[in-house]
């Protein structure tokens, strides 16, 4: 069982804009261990921070991020889009880690090249990877660390035990280091079996203090939250109680 969880700052934490430099700076300033952001890639192969492919342009029209170059985007947006390279520099300077939530398979090669170029393989990992994308990531660059995103439909279609075992087998086949789980699917059986396989359990998104305490006490390895300050305080209190 993990002693205390790592604090992952969900993009847009502490009421900041999603996928913004302010969100990253705020998460770091409030004590997050990991910064999570959504990743897409422009037409000219530049990884950027964005949840959606559709972007609202300054003239009120809607553009397609994947069909525009980085220059075209920044000329057309009222606020320039954040490049992943900018975000990684902030995280590296703080000595922290970044969770790259990939939105498309097209992100794999550009993200791999960038983190290798910046020497941040050990300071980054991928999420947003169900089993097919996780396997593609393994073949693209086996050095990229990644979480397997749980397939929630599996837990609806099968018994909890069967779904857990299938998830762990998929994670093993794709070379993942852990499992990314919606917190409502977490039970002690998952944690016990994951430990047997040597996998870490990362959960999302927990914003209420009582649930932070509950899942932290269960021994998850990381909790993703928008309320970073509250989770950091809970973590400090747990450490003090254990000392």
Q: What is the domain extent for residue 111?
A: 6-43+84-242
In a domain, 32, yes or no: yes
In a domain, 91, yes or no: yes
pLDDT in tens, 56-74: 999 999 999 999 999 999 9
In a domain, 97, yes or no: yes
* For range 139-164, the mean pLDDT: 98
In a domain, 104, yes or no: yes
pTM of the model: 0.97
In a domain, 150, yes or no: yes
Q: Across the chain, where does the E strand assignment appear? A: 6-9, 34-41, 47-49, 54-56, 62-64, 97-102, 124-127, 147-149, 178-182, 200-204, 222-225
Q: What is the dihedral of CA 144, 95, 33, 226, to 10 degrees?
A: -90
Residue 1 has pLDDT above 70, yes or no: no
pLDDT confidence of residue 242: 81
In a domain, 11, yes or no: yes
In a domain, 62, yes or no: no
pLDDT in tens, 18-27: 999 999 999 9
In a domain, 23, yes or no: yes
Tell me the CATH number at 30. Answer: 3.20.20.190
pLDDT confidence of residue 243: 53
Tell me the pLDDT of the chain averaged across its residues: 97
More confident residue, 173 or 241: 173
Q: How would residue 174 be classed by pLDDT, with cut points 50, 70 and 90?
A: very high
What is the tally of structural domains in the chain? 1
pLDDT confidence of residue 3: 81
């Amino acid at each position: 069982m993990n002693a205390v969880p790592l604090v992952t700052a969900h993009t847009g934490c502490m009421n900041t804009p999603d996928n913004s430099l302010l969100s990253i700076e705020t998460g770091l300033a409030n004590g997050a261990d990991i910064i999570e952001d959504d990743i897409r890639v422009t037409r000219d192969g530049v990884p950027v921070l964005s949840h959606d492919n559709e972007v609202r342009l300054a003239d009120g029209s809607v553009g397609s991020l994947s069909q525009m170059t980085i220059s075209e985007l920044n000329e057309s947006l009222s606020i320039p889009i954040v490049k992943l390279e900018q975000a990684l520099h902030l995280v590296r300077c703080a000595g922290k880690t970044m969770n790259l939530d990939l939105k498309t398979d097209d992100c794999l090669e550009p993200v791999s090249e960038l983190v290798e170029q910046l020497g941040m393989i050990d300071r980054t990992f991928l999420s947003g990877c169900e089993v097919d994308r996780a396997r593609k990531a393994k073949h693209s660059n086996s050095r990229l660390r990644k979480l397997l995103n749980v397939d929630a439909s599996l837990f609806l279609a099968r018994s909890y035990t069967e779904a857990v075992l299938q998830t762990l087998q998929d994670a093993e086949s794709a070379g993942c280091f852990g499992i990314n789980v919606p917190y409502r699917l977490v039970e002690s059986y998952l944690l016990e079996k994951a430990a047997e396989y040597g996998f870490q359990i990362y959960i999302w998104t927990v914003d209420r203090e009582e649930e932070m305490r509950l899942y932290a006490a269960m021994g998850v390895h990381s909790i993703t939250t928008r309320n970073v300050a509250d989770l950091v305080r809970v973590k400090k209190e747990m450490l003090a109680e254990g000392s």
